[in-house]
Amino acid sequence: MTGDAAEILRALDPDQREIAQALRGPVSVLAGAGTGKTRAITHRIAYGVRTGVYDPQRVLAVTFTRKAAGELQGRLRELGADGVRARTFHGAALAQLSHFWPQFVGGDAPQLLPGKVAALSQTVESLGLRLSGETLRDIAAEIEWRKVSMLSIESYAERLDSRPALAGLSPEQVIDIQERYTKLLEERRQIDFEDVLVLLSGMLEVEPRASLQVREQYRFFTVDEFQDVSPLQHRLLNLWLGARDDLCVVGDASQTIYSFAGATSSFLLRFGSEHPNAREFRLERNYRSVPPIVVGANRLMRDKPGALQLSPMREQSDSVPQFGWFQTEQDEARGVAQAISQARAEGVAASDIAVLYRTNAQSARLEEALAAEGIPVRVHGAQRFYDRADVRRAILLIRGQAKVADDRPLFQIVSDMLRAVGWTAKPPEGAAERERWEALSSILSLADDMPPGTGIVGFSEELQARQQAQHEPRMEAVTLSAVHAAKGLEWPLVHVVGLSEGIFPISHAQSEEDIEEERRLAYVAFTRARDSLLMSGFASAARSSRPPSRFVAEAGVHF
């Protein structure tokens, strides 16, 4: 073993080290929240590259979001595994489909539809229907579920009785809309995101030359968040693999929160049956949260299928999870804003605080209450950092300046570029302007954090790599986020709001299966907190009274 390779292993705990050294054959990693799974799989890949077992050009690491793929790519780059590709399922599939289409079909691949709602709006109009935007989004979700479940429209029609009803639509109308939507896309020579996986899977099945090219390109696969794999993604993964078995999958059944979209943890839990020679590893040492938070998370998931028993590795803390009960949603928002204001007065940075909620509709009152306290806010998922017009302009100026000889200190150059797009040293008063200021300031903070001696050329290259990977810098603002969007993230101080029956768990979760999905969502929310977890709910809604969420008591939190 080379010194470099040994250094990679030294950064891992004993369980992570075992995983890093299991380089060949099928490997399953059951990794609980906060146990360092990303560290384990990136070091495993880097160790494989350093020891010569992996050719980096033949390794594909797959995950579910561009942000997660960007983080994987960044960590692999830091570990010296530059040639390894980290992509989403859709990103990898789209690149392959675009490559193979001219060879095996002819001409350019069909145009990718940016979203379904506009096309669905035209579809329902052609049928003489008028539907709300919410109903159109529900139809889009049904189309996505049907396709990732690998059901034809005819097969879907046979199962329609077991699917959630769509407001104001008969089963016949639901089928008519899906058939007309499919025809509209064919006429326009367009495909949606799920079609990318469907078409590529079909091509790899019927074109041996295409599957041979993929298998020549990629030999070693790692799939993160494997509990979120859909039947369609699982099929594509098997087509990529062929008869080979160099596959490492990583996941946590307790964090399966996309069942409504076709995801299932069954592929993770039965991996050993599908691959009889697979080695299974467990990561249960939680390094993220203080012991009281870990204990509550364990209680919430006790005896649930596939649940791991987390062991807290941090020192004991007096900071136990707390629950606050309010009369109205507005009262709760004000109470949370006041608590955050107090925390900031005690020295907690705004960027170390998050407020998590069950549905996006809950964010409006929170934004209003936080603004009243003068607290800067960023709504996670509302607009990607690098899509902001002001950020794009700043990066273009910095890239332009990198082409000019400039020996001034990096901080001075970057601050001058930011002033050219309206940044000031003093933060503005208005909430919207403050968010813009925080975004630009985060670029300056990134420049300040660069290694000593970094010039404008090096900083421009770092910004470009981050932009391509969607690796966002840290903004000095409180994060507001739906729980679904917060998976994979963490903060020292987390508020989980709306913990009332009918809100979290949500009112339409009636079956035992639906309630268990809500429980897993609560588990994800609670385990985002490192040092402090503050829960809250409210009693009155729509002239009725709600009790506190069952998940609060089940986590052992007293109120």
List the binding residues for ATP: 31-38
- Burial classification of residue 425, based on how many CB atoms lie within 10 Å of its CB (0-12 exposed, 13-18 middle, 19 or more buried): exposed
Exposure on the CB side of residue 33, measured as CA atoms within 13 A? 31
**Which structure tokens are listed for 65?**
């979001």
Structure token pair of residue 86: 């980290």
- In 424-559, which residue ranges form alpha helices assigned H by DSSP? 431-448, 456-469, 483-486, 512-526, 550-554
Q: How far is Cα 442 from Cα 305, in angstroms, rounded to an integer?
A: 42
- Name the residue type at position 112: L
Distances from the Cα of 144 to the Cαs of 150, 221, 264, 273, 360, in angstroms?
Answer: 10, 25, 14, 28, 20
Residues, the chain, total? 559
Non-local (6+) Cβ contacts of 387 within 8 A are none
Structure token digits, residue 118:
């506009």
Calpha distance 500→552 (Å, rounded) = 9
Strand partners, 540: 545
Compute how many other C-beta atoms are within 10 angstroms of the C-beta atom of residue 531. Answer: 17
Task: Determine phi and psi for 491, rounding to 5 degrees.
Answer: -145, 150
Burial 92-129 (b: 16+ CB within 10 A, else e): bbbebbeebbeeeeeeebbeebeebeebbeebbeeeee
* The residue to which tokens 């001409």 are assigned: 107
CA triple 92-221-282, angle to 5 deg: 125
Q: How far is CA 557 from the centre of its chain?
A: 28
Task: For tokens 């490492």, name the residue.
Answer: 248
**Which tokens is 135 given?**
């109903």
Q: Is there a contact between 554 and 514 (Cβ–Cβ < 8 Å)? A: no
* DSSP notation for 267-301: HHHTHHHHSTT-EEEEE-EE-SS-HHHHHHHHHHT
Which residues fall in the annotated binding site?
A: 31-38
Within 8 A by CB and 6+ apart from 226, the residues are: 249, 250, 251, 267, 268, 271
d(CA 105, CA 183) in angstroms, rounded, equals 20
Kindly give, in sequence order, each residue whose CB lies less than 8 Å from that of residue 380, ignoring residues fewer than 6 positions away. Answer: 479, 480, 481, 482, 485, 486, 489
Tokens 């079956």, residue located: 511
